[in-house]
A and B are shown apart, each in its own frame.
Chain A
Amino acid sequence: MKLGVVRAYMLKEIKEMLRSKMIVLVYLLPTMIVILFGYGIRLEVTHARTVILDHDQSRLSRDLIGHFRHSKYFDTRVMNITEQQALHRIKQAKTEILIIIPEGFEKRLIQGVGTEIGVFVDGAFPIRGETMANYVEGVIFDAARRLMPPKEAKLITLDNRNLFNQAMRDENAIVPGLIGLILLVAPAILSALLIVKEKEEGTIFNFYSSPIKKSEFLLAKLFPAFVLHSVNIFLLFLWATWLFEVPFRGSFTLYWFASEIYVLISLGVGLLVSIITSTQIVATVLTIIITIIPGFLYSGMLMPISAMSAESVIEAHIYPVMYFNHIVYDTFLVGQGLASPKNQLYLAILLAYAVGLILLGSFLMKKELR
């Protein structure tokens, strides 16, 4: 391998990237994704728009309403409209929760006769609907328990400790996973484009007809992409910890090292894409399709791997993103680092993926026209 040749080729790549503004894509895209998704994906529910119809107007009913008023989960309004009108408001998407306190609520409670509160929840956005229903239930049972004489209550209370993410912030749960998504998608697009661009424009002949070795060509293409995206490793770290205030409890060196290997995997994916495609637009679309789905669905970001069905678990083990995300979540939230054998194993698997993909790519790539 002649390093002078590689250096010259790399210099050319970097000049072209700077002059064609491709560099904007390299740095703007990851940041945009992390900001949009980081702010965009919210699974917790706050400020659910709640309407209460108080047909009882008693001390107890007002007491119950007070419980809702004081919760950050609800934006509560007591309205004086008919049930029909209130349901209509849900249809118009003006209201999400409707709670109806029946007439004689207080009286029946005091008499010890059962009474029933009606709750209507907008279930159009399922996880939100489910969560809202749970909240309402929680508030009402909480209020009811306080009314009950203590000795009657035979109860197991839950003493829960939320590990790794005490406040159960969505940011902490989502943003580290986004790093695994972005570092899979973006370097792959770049490396595929760098190679396919020469194919589409015809300059690939300079490689075919000159004595440049395949290894030199690949190094010249992949190394700049590697270096440029290595910067993103730090940039994304910065956004996560500074903008989204995700705690970082593990070893930065491990995060860095694992991310660099992971970028290599992504470059390998891009290399494979560049072998089977010949236009930039197809290469872009193909790379996005084959990286985003595993990056989202089989990464453990939105759904923990342990909660997947058996076949999904197998699929998740095929894509490298799961192994990387495990390490990233560990470094951000858990902090075991390399002390955990699982992290060691996963790091080794990532390394094998990186080496395997790049070797496969360089093997399949031919220095000739097709």
Chain B
Amino acid sequence: MSAPLLDVQNVTVRYKETVGIRDASLRAGEGEILGFIGADGAGKSSLMHAIAGVIRFEGMIRFRDRTFRSPRQAEALKPAIGLMPQGIGLVLYRNLTVAEHLDFFAEIRNLKQDAAFRAYRQKLLEMAGLARFTDRAAGHLSGGMMQKLSLICTLLHRPKLLLLDEPTTGVDPLSRLELWEILQQIRREEGTTALISTAYMQEAARMDRLLLFDGGRIIAQGRAEELTRSVRDYCYEPTDCPESRCIRTLDTTYSLEPLPAPKKEPGLEALFFVEAIRRGKIPPAIEVSPRESAEPIPPVVMEARGLTKRFGDFIADDHIDMRLAGGEILGLLGANGAGKTTFIKMLLGLYPIDEGELTLLGRPIRSAADRRELKARIGYVSQHFALYKDMTVLENLRYFASIHRIPQARARERIRRYAEELGFAPYLHALPGDLPLGINQRFSLAAALLHEPVVLFLDEPTSGVDAIARAQFWQLLQKLKERWGIAILITTHYMSEAEYCDRVVLLKQGKKIADDTVENLHRRFPEAKSFEEIFLRFYKEDG
């Protein structure tokens, strides 16, 4: 490592009532990539904002030979710093085109627009795959393209220090890979130092060094291998263990005490689980009681033949056939803009079907009237939906219960049971906005389950949710499948989650390109180490 280019000492960021990050120190050398990992609200963004000089802080930050203690003092360094804050397309202007963005960012940073600059600009556009779309308004780009545009806008002035706050959350694996490639190339050519926060552990594993955040502090740092090695002794193949001292997920059991089970090679996620056990913050085990209604689950829940949706000239879904059986978890995967959400919305009747036939629960769907009665048997959770923000969790659940005409006594009983089983009993009287995303997603699921539906449609329910909450969410889905035998259709950008699905369907530019079990796909691509590689293979294969 060369001499530290960036030296952060005892930085604390305070908000009106809370502390964002306390006493954080770090160093980074030229060309080094530092990864920030940790749950929602762990302090990653606060530290990035402090280093970018956009928020007041206590402590000291030195970059190159300049030291600053306030945003004002950081002004002189801003030509050398690039910040991409969290949120898809956050810094983009919806009405401006791609080319106008590049011009704008170049001009507000007063860059000299000579031949060298134009060549660099063109190179960035090509690297981001946006060269063809220079005339498209940012509001019309897919999430992945927006993030790539944001990144190249941030890179335009060749910053020496790059701060990227979750640039890949909600972005599909292919776009993630492309973003990463752009970054590697820039680092090689410009020697840029980068601080990047991420929710994807495969991505984190590629960073030079990682900082683990928890509760507003940096609790560990080191190379990915060092960090995983430090928890290697605590990871076992799934096995039973005393609930109060270990955490079980679908594929691993974590325990500080030795267990009579074979050890397992941990991923970076293990850090979070082990840390949680150390702090005694063990999440309650998920339990699901059998459903009360005796309604049988039909063998085929949903059958789509040639389902098509057009928006003007653009074909969002192109003649898609799909079948969802009872008791099956079907993963719907694809890049941003491949047509996943559109497909689910067609199934739900939120978009009219332009072409094709749909049979839901054994009933052909031709009109809105066909659906009305079915609504009571379908559950839906979307990535945006986190209940009504101005009602407490309990009020929300009661509201949904009475909308579904569940008798009051039974509704009370069910809410109580779900609250216990899904482990949100302590939060019943809190407002959803005050709670972490992971817990919110559990209420959303509870609300969708109150009327004991026969089929669940889940649209990116785990985006932006931390590792522990995601593991629990999947445990819950597994239990629902086992105990209730209901069918689940789910979309996700975490390819590791695809492994938990019984079957996956891959969409690409509105067309179905694969529909098979995960095992079969692994058999087809024996050299692939993870499902992510299989996904990328499919996507890169034919153009």
Establish whether A and B are touching in the complex (CB under 8 Å).
yes
**Nearest A residue (CB) for B101:** A12
B499 to chain A minimum Cβ distance, whole angstroms, is 34
B78 touches A12 (CB 8 A): no
**Nearest B residue (CB) for A202:** B90
In Å, the complex CA distance between A7 and B92 comes to 19
In Å, the complex CA distance between A206 and B104 comes to 10
Q: Does B59 reach chain A (CB closer than 8 Å)?
A: no
A208 touches B54 (CB 8 A): yes
User: Quick one: which of B81-127 are within 8 Å of A by CB?
Assistant: 81-83, 85, 87, 90-93, 95-96, 100, 103-105, 107-110
Contact of A209 among B72, B81, B103, B137 (CB under 8 A): B81
Instruction: Using A9-B104, A209-B82, A369-B49 as known contacts, list a sample of 14 further A-B pairs with CB atoms less than 8 Å apart, ordered by residue number in A.
Output: A4-B110, A9-B107, A15-B96, A20-B95, A201-B90, A203-B93, A205-B91, A208-B54, A209-B81, A209-B83, A211-B109, A368-B53, A368-B56, A368-B71
| Residues of A contacting B374 in the complex (Cβ-Cβ under 8 angstroms) | none
Mind listing 11 A-B residue pairs with CB under 8 Å?
A: A8-B103, A19-B95, A202-B90, A205-B90, A206-B108, A209-B82, A211-B78, A211-B110, A368-B53, A369-B49, A369-B54
Given contacts A12-B100, A16-B93, A369-B49, contact A4 B83 (CB under 8 A): no
Q: Does A92 reach chain B (CB closer than 8 Å)?
A: no
| Residues of A contacting B52 in the complex (Cβ-Cβ under 8 angstroms) | 208-209
Contact with A along B44-85 (1 / 0, CB 8 A): 000001001111100000000000000110010011011101
Q: Does A2 reach chain B (CB closer than 8 Å)?
A: yes
**Nearest A residue (CB) for B55:** A369
A195 to chain B minimum Cβ distance, whole angstroms, is 14
Candidate in A15, A201, A210 with the most chain B CB atoms within 10 angstroms: A210
Candidate in B72, B81, B90 with the most chain A CB atoms within 10 angstroms: B90
Given contacts A12-B104, A202-B91, A203-B92, contact A209 B110 (CB under 8 A): no
A16 touches B96 (CB 8 A): yes
Contact of A202 among B55, B81, B85, B108 (CB under 8 A): B85
| Residues of A contacting B78 in the complex (Cβ-Cβ under 8 angstroms) | 209-211
Contact of A8 among B53, B92, B108, B137 (CB under 8 A): B108
B104 touches A8 (CB 8 A): yes
**Nearest A residue (CB) for B157:** A210
In Å, the complex CA distance between A77 and B162 comes to 85
Q: Does A212 reach chain B (CB closer than 8 Å)?
A: yes
In Å, the complex CA distance between A209 and B162 comes to 11
Contact with B along A326-370 (1 / 0, CB 8 A): 000000000000000000000000000000000000000011110
A159 to chain B minimum Cβ distance, whole angstroms, is 64
**Nearest A residue (CB) for B54:** A208
In Å, the complex CA distance between A294 and B134 comes to 48
Residues of A in contact with B (beta carbons under 8 Å apart): 2, 4-5, 7-9, 11-12, 15-16, 19-20, 201-203, 205-206, 208-212, 366-369
| Residues of B contacting A16 in the complex (Cβ-Cβ under 8 angstroms) | 93, 95-96
A222 to chain B minimum Cβ distance, whole angstroms, is 16
Given contacts A202-B90, A203-B90, A212-B108, contact A15 B95 (CB under 8 A): yes
| Residues of A contacting B104 in the complex (Cβ-Cβ under 8 angstroms) | 8-9, 11-12
CB-CB nearest 9 A-B residue pairs = A8-B107, A19-B95, A202-B90, A209-B83, A208-B54, A368-B71, A211-B78, A369-B55, A205-B85
In Å, the complex CA distance between A366 and B53 comes to 12
**Nearest A residue (CB) for B109:** A210
In Å, the complex CA distance between A164 and B107 comes to 53
Given contacts A5-B107, A369-B54, A369-B55, contact A203 B95 (CB under 8 A): no
| Residues of B contacting A15 in the complex (Cβ-Cβ under 8 angstroms) | 95-96, 100
| Residues of A contacting B91 in the complex (Cβ-Cβ under 8 angstroms) | 202-203, 205-206
A210 touches B95 (CB 8 A): no
| Residues of A contacting B137 in the complex (Cβ-Cβ under 8 angstroms) | 19
Number of B residues, CB within 8 Å of A = 31
**Nearest B residue (CB) for A17:** B95
Candidate in A7, A8, A209, A368 with the most chain B CB atoms within 10 angstroms: A209
| Residues of B contacting A9 in the complex (Cβ-Cβ under 8 angstroms) | 104, 107-108
A206 to chain B minimum Cβ distance, whole angstroms, is 5
In Å, the complex CA distance between A245 and B474 comes to 74
| Residues of A contacting B90 in the complex (Cβ-Cβ under 8 angstroms) | 201-203, 205
In Å, the complex CA distance between A211 and B76 comes to 7
**Nearest B residue (CB) for A13:** B93
Contact of A206 among B75, B87, B95, B105 (CB under 8 A): B105
User: Quick one: which of B332-375 are within 8 Å of A by CB?
Assistant: none
Given contacts A15-B96, A203-B92, contact A210 B108 (CB under 8 A): yes
**Nearest B residue (CB) for A21:** B95
| Residues of A contacting B83 in the complex (Cβ-Cβ under 8 angstroms) | 205, 208-209
Contact with A along B21-46 (1 / 0, CB 8 A): 00000000000000000000000000
In Å, the complex CA distance between A20 and B90 comes to 17
B108 touches A368 (CB 8 A): no
| Residues of B contacting A369 in the complex (Cβ-Cβ under 8 angstroms) | 49, 54-55
In Å, the complex CA distance between A129 and B478 comes to 79
| Residues of A contacting B100 in the complex (Cβ-Cβ under 8 angstroms) | 12, 15
| Residues of B contacting A205 in the complex (Cβ-Cβ under 8 angstroms) | 54, 83, 85, 90-91
**Nearest B residue (CB) for A8:** B107
B11 to chain A minimum Cβ distance, whole angstroms, is 15
| Residues of A contacting B85 in the complex (Cβ-Cβ under 8 angstroms) | 202, 205, 209
A233 to chain B minimum Cβ distance, whole angstroms, is 28
B93 touches A12 (CB 8 A): yes
B53 touches A209 (CB 8 A): yes
In Å, the complex CA distance between A158 and B109 comes to 73
| Residues of B contacting A5 in the complex (Cβ-Cβ under 8 angstroms) | 107-110
| Residues of B contacting A19 in the complex (Cβ-Cβ under 8 angstroms) | 95-96, 137
B87 touches A368 (CB 8 A): no
A207 to chain B minimum Cβ distance, whole angstroms, is 8
In Å, the complex CA distance between A368 and B46 comes to 12
A368 touches B54 (CB 8 A): yes
Contact of B75 among A11, A12, A211 (CB under 8 A): A211
Given contacts A205-B83, A211-B75, contact A368 B55 (CB under 8 A): yes
In Å, the complex CA distance between A5 and B105 comes to 10
A359 to chain B minimum Cβ distance, whole angstroms, is 18
A2 touches B71 (CB 8 A): no
A155 to chain B minimum Cβ distance, whole angstroms, is 72
In Å, the complex CA distance between A205 and B96 comes to 17
B175 to chain A minimum Cβ distance, whole angstroms, is 20
| Residues of B contacting A208 in the complex (Cβ-Cβ under 8 angstroms) | 52, 54, 71, 83
**Nearest A residue (CB) for B86:** A202
B142 to chain A minimum Cβ distance, whole angstroms, is 18
Candidate in A4, A5, A212, A369 with the most chain B CB atoms within 10 angstroms: A369
A367 touches B109 (CB 8 A): no
User: Quick one: which of B123-152 are within 8 Å of A by CB?
Assistant: 137
A357 to chain B minimum Cβ distance, whole angstroms, is 23
Candidate in B78, B82, B107 with the most chain A CB atoms within 10 angstroms: B107
